[in-house]
Structures are given as C-alpha cells and as structure tokens.
C-alpha cells in the first residue's frame, strides 16, 4: 500500500544520533559495560520466540525488509523459535513459516522461503494477521520463551476497499490474548511503521489495545530502515538485560546471606555476580549484628554456623545503578537474613588439627608402653665358607656371645632389646661389647660402637669381624 516515500533530515539526524556506529551488542556493551559483562551471558541461555510480520503490499521496502529478516535470523541461537507471517489480502495473509525451533537446516529453509517471497500485492488484512500473531505466541513448546514481535507495515486495512473493521472484529482478539497471556511470558511488540502518503495508520491503535504496551518506530525511507531496526535490536538487548538483572535482584533480596569479614559484614556472593553489593544497616540492626560477630570464644571444634535474624537497612546497587537508573537502592525492613556467626579466636579448623595431633600423640605414647615390645623370630650369623648359625629369639631381650655362636670372638658379646619408639615404631636397641657393628647397607653408613646402645631396624643386617648378622623381628 506504500505509494511513495521521502527522506527527512530530522529522521536522518535522529537515527544517526540515537544509534551511531557499531553493532547493537557493541553499543550496549559501551553504554552498560558492567551489566553486559556480568549478565550478558544469561541472554544466551534464555529461549526467545521471534515473530516477524512482513507487509507484502509494500514493494518499496520489500528487499530491505527481506535482508533485515535474513540478517537477523543468521545469529539466532539454536533452541530459539522463529516464525514469519505474511500480511496481504485475506487469502494471502498466512504463515510463510510455521513456528519451529531454530537450527542450521531450519535457518537455511526459512532464508530460501524469504528470498522467494514477492512484494507489491494488493490488500492488507490486519485482523487476520493479528490472529496469526496470537497463534504464534501460543506455539507448542515455546511457553517459557520470551516472545519478541516485529510488525513491518503501514497499518492500513485494504480488502476490496479501505473500510476499517470495527471494534466487534477486534474484541475477540483482545479476549483471546487475555486468555493467552496467562500461559506465556509478556511479549515485546515493535511496530515499524512504513509510510503511506494516502492514508494514516488505521488499525495500529487496535493492536495497542490488544497488547497494551508496544513500541512504534516510524521509518520514512528504505535507507533508514536498517539503522532503525538496529536501534530496535539494541533496545531489545537492553530490555532483556534489565529483565535478567531485575529477576536476579528480586532473588537476591529474598535470600540475603551476610558474611563476617574480619568483624565487618559483607553480602555473600553466589554463582552469579551480586546486584546489590552492600547492605547498610540501621543503628538497631548494626548493634544486633555486632553482638553476634564479636566472639569471645577461645576455641571451637565446629565451623561458624548460619543463623537467621531480622534486620532493617538499605541494599545498595553500587555497580549497576548508574547504568540502570531503575535499579534504585532498596529499603528493607525487618527482613529475615542469614548471618554467618563469628569464628573463635583460634580458628575452628586449627583447633581440630591441634586436637587430632594431641590425640594421636597420646595414643602413640601409650602404644610405645603397652603392650611391651618382644623379640620374635631368629638372629642369623653367617660367614662365607661356614654354615649359618640360627638363634631363636623370644622375650624382651637376648644376649649373644661366643658360648652361643662359635663364630664370634671370645671377648665379643652382643645384647639386643625389643623396644617401641614414638617416631621409629618397632625397633631394636643393640649393645655390643669389645667390638663395633657396621651396618651392611649401600645407602646408609652407620656404626654401632662398642659399649653404647644404638637403635637398629628389625631384620637389619650388620657386620662384625667378617661375620654377617641379621637381626630378629619385634612384636
């Protein structure tokens, strides 16, 4: 229905100043650096339901509209929903694509259908188009997706004449939407008003009455359409980002946890960044919290516990309120919050370690005494060319001399005693007379000097006067 268009300097300046240069995402990052950095990732995890209405009676804007829709579709993530509705005469007003979950093959199929579509037909049935939009909102599986609707049209009704359907045609649609919005998320509706020099928009107000809240953007020339739509995309990102942050702020207010940081309270951070980074308590609540945080316990075996108390004060959104003026500081009154109690002067974990070490030390000391250590097994005496002499060892100690082992010199004797030491565990005390014992080991050089007691490992091997001695075990 668009017959002509004109370029206005005002519109051009408005588009350039409002949007400037760069992609919508880049501009939102620049305008809201903190909000986008912390919560931009959440936008990618929330499913969206995109509904495009293309007025095929408009030949002037046809190619531009097709390019916009295709460019918009390419980065749409898998798992979102996408639907294209054609607005023409009653018989031509229909779904170009049925509502479906987007994937790579689906995108290619939609793009091919858009490329084939012809613009410049006669007729425009706004009532039927609106009904199809409501059907798309009720798309199976998209109940949890946020609907975003784009309507490209001059909003002039023409069906064998310019007669505009009256309220009786629109009221059923209002009722249908009222029933539908109980099951879906609140939709965001953007009407891109294309020019018509002969007629003013005829049914735009009826659409407003159905959705109550929508955004209208007037575009006077195809050369401005891309900038206008980019501006809308930037607004969408901001709107969705506000929704994410508002939801997280509401969740944080319902679950406030205070931590004790060196005697000062701070808000506990969860998996997400905190919307409200500080809680300023009133005087009464400050006293209440201080009493809990000032611990006079010297020690405790258990970690600090969480208790629930009522406090009043102000939640401060320092990081984001300059970017989102709507995110004002929030007053709370007698709200239940969770507070982590103070730790003892000796941290609980250190107390536990000290107790464990003490208990182990006491038990270990008792073990060294009870029961007494006893020898077990045998001592082996061996020298090359002669038979090995085996001496059985029992009891607490054993004394060996030439009388028991003929291999030993007449004046040499060896006494061994079973013992248990705190650090070494089960071992032997060896006491040689009139001769030094040399430990038979390549790794350790050790001597048991005559006339002195020396600690030796069980089954260790020693040498004296060319005789190899293997020590017994200890039980």
Task: List, for residues 142-184, the tens digit of each pLDDT value.
Answer: 888 889 999 988 888 877 666 778 889 999 999 999 999 888 9
Residue 417 has pLDDT above 80, yes or no: yes
State which H helix or E strand residue 274 sits in. none
C-alpha to C-alpha distance for 285 and 339, rounded to whole angstroms: 12
For residue 248, what are its two tokens?
Answer: 């997280």
Give all strands (DSSP E) within 194-241, no chain letters. Answer: 215-218
Confidence of residue 447 (pLDDT cuts 50, 70, 90): very high
C-alpha to C-alpha distance for 81 and 420, rounded to whole angstroms: 76
State which H helix or E strand residue 34 sits in. helix 33-45
Confidence of residue 15 (pLDDT cuts 50, 70, 90): very low
> If you classify domain 375-474 with CATH, what class do you get?
mainly beta
DSSP codes of every residue in 308-377: EEEEEEEEE-TTTTTT-TTS--EEEEEEEEEEEPPPPSS-HHHHHHHHHHHHHHHHHHHHHHSSPP-EES
CB atoms within 10 A of CB 468: 16
Is residue 257 a contact partner of residue 306, using CB atoms and an 8 Å limit?
yes
| pLDDT reported for residue 454 | 94
Shortest CA distance to 81 belongs to which of 150, 123, 142, 11?
142
Place of tokens 């009826």: 206
Residue 1 has pLDDT above 60, yes or no: no
The CA distances from residue 348 to 31, 187, 199, 342, 361, in Å, are: 47, 53, 79, 10, 20
Confidence of residue 411 (pLDDT cuts 50, 70, 90): confident
Is residue 137 a contact partner of residue 179, using CB atoms and an 8 Å limit?
no
Is residue 120 a contact partner of residue 56, using CB atoms and an 8 Å limit?
yes
Is residue 458 a contact partner of residue 470, using CB atoms and an 8 Å limit?
no
Taking the alpha carbons at both ends of the chain, their separation in whole angstroms is 105
* Cβ-based burial of 75 (10 A; exposed 0-12, middle 13-18, buried ≥19): exposed
Beta bridge partners of 376: 473
Buried b (16+ CB within 10 A) or exposed e, 191-218: bbbbbbeebebbbbebbeebbeebeebe
| Reported pTM | 0.58
* CATH superfamily for domain 9-251: von Willebrand factor, type A domain (3.40.50.410)
* pLDDT mean over 402-422: 91
Give all strands (DSSP E) within 91-145, no chain letters. Answer: 94-101
C-alpha to C-alpha distance for 279 and 267, rounded to whole angstroms: 7
| pLDDT reported for residue 271 | 60
Query: What is the tens place of the pLDDT at every residue in 262-305?
Result: 667 778 776 667 888 888 889 998 888 888 877 778 888 888 88
Give all strands (DSSP E) within 154-231, no chain letters. Answer: 188-193, 215-218
Strands 264-267, 257-261: parallel, antiparallel or unpaired by DSSP? Answer: antiparallel
Mean pLDDT of the chain, nearest integer:
84
Residues 6+ apart with CB under 8 A from 40: 29, 241
For residue 224, what are its two tokens?
Answer: 């401005």
Place of tokens 């905190």: 274
Give all strands (DSSP E) within 422-472, no chain letters. Answer: 425-433, 437-439, 447-448, 454-456, 461-464, 467-470
C-alpha to C-alpha distance for 287 and 387, rounded to whole angstroms: 88
C-alpha to C-alpha distance for 21 and 278, rounded to whole angstroms: 36
* pLDDT mean over 80-98: 90
Query: What is the tens place of the pLDDT at every residue in 203-242?
Result: 888 999 999 888 888 876 666 666 767 777 788 888 888 8
C-alpha to C-alpha distance for 405 and 422, rounded to whole angstroms: 33
Confidence of residue 431 (pLDDT cuts 50, 70, 90): very high
The CA distances from residue 104 to 48, 113, 140, 146, in Å, are: 16, 15, 20, 21
Is residue 351 a contact partner of residue 299, using CB atoms and an 8 Å limit?
yes
C-alpha to C-alpha distance for 44 and 78, rounded to whole angstroms: 10
Given its phi and psi angles, is residue 313 left (phi above 0), alpha (psi -120 to 50 degrees) or beta?
left
Query: Which three-class secondary structure state does DSSP give residue 169?
Result: helix
Is residue 315 a contact partner of residue 332, using CB atoms and an 8 Å limit?
yes
Sequence spans of domains, the chain? 9-251, 255-340, 375-474
């Amino acid at each position: 229905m668009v017959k002509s268009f004109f370029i206005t300097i005002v519109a051009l300046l408005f588009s350039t100043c409002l949007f400037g240069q760069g992609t919508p995402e880049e501009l939102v990052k620049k305008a809201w650096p903190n909000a986008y950095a912390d919560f931009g990732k959440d936008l990618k995890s929330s499913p969206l339901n995109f509904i495009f209405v293309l007025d095929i009676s408009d030949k002037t804007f046809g190619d531009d509209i097709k390019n916009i829709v295709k460019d918009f579709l390419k980065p749409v993530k898998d798992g979102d929903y996408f639907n294209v509705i054609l607005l023409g005469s009653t018989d031509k007003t229909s779904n170009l694509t049925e509502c479906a979950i987007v994937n790579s093959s689906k995108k290619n199929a939609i793009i091919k259908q858009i490329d084939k579509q012809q613009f410049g037909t006669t007729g425009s049935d706004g009532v039927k188009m609106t009904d199809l939009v409501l059907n798309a909102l009720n798309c199976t599986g998209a109940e949890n997706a946020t609907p975003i609707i784009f309507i490209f049209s001059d909003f002039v009704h023409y069906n064998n004449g310019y007669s505009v359907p009256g309220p009786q045609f629109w009221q059923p649609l209002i009722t249908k939407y009222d029933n539908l919005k109980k099951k879906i998320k609140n939709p965001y509706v953007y009407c891109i008003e294309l020019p018509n020099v002969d007629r003013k928009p005829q049914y735009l107000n009826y659409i407003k009455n159905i959705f109550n809240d929508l955004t209208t953007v007037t575009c006077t020339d195809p050369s401005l359409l891309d900038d206008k739509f980019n501006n809308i995309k930037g607004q969408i990102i901001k709107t969705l980002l506000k929704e994410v942050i508002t939801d997280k702020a509401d969740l944080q207010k319902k679950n406030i946890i205070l931590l004790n940081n060196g005697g000062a309270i701070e808000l506990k951070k969860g998996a997400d960044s905190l919307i409200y980074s500080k809680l300023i308590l009133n005087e009464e609540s400050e006293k209440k919290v201080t009493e809990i945080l000032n611990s006079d316990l010297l020690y405790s075996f258990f970690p600090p516990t969480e208790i629930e108390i009522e406090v009043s004060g102000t939640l401060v959104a320092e990081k984001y309120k300059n970017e989102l003026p709507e995110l004002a500081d929030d007053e709370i009154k007698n709200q239940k919050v969770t507070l982590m109690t103070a730790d003892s002067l000796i941290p609980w974990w250190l107390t536990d370690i000290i107790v464990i070490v003490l208990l182990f030390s006491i038990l270990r000391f008792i073990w060294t005494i009870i029961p007494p250590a006893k020898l077990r097994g045998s001592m082996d005496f061996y020298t090359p060319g002669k038979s090995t002499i085996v001496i059985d060892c029992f009891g607490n100690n054993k004394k060996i001399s030439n009388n028991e082992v003929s291999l030993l010199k007449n004046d040499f004797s060896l006494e061994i005693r079973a013992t248990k030491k705190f650090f070494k565990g089960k071992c032997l005390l060896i006491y040689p007379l009139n001769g030094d014992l040399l430990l038979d080991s390549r790794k350790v050089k050790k001597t048991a000097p005559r006339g002195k007691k020396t600690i030796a490992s069980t089954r260790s091997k020693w040498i004296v006067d060319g005789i190899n001695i293997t020590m017994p075990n200890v039980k």
